[in-house]
Amino acid sequence: MSVKIRPITDHESYEVNHHTVYKDGFGNWNCKNDLSNKERYAFNQYENIVIKNPRFKKHTKATYKG
């Protein structure tokens, strides 16, 4: 199973396999649905590589295979 991540609004919300992950008022990432361990791991990788990287001006789609 692959995990697809698509930015909705950079630094605010992303779609992870059709689940919306968003940043709350406290700066934490939340999702109304429970993500699988694989989805959480893929989003954490995406956050470290893309979201926290100041060299990315526009965030890109990503697919993690495992």
- pLDDT at residue 36 in the model: 97
The full set of domain ranges for the chain reads 2-65
Per-residue pLDDT of the chain (66 residues; tens, 9 = 90+): 799 999 999 999 999 999 999 999 999 999 999 999 999 999 999 999 999 999 988 888 888 886
Buried b (16+ CB within 10 A) or exposed e, 14-53: bebbeeebeeeeeeebebeeebeeebbebbeebeeebbee
- pLDDT at residue 24 in the model: 96
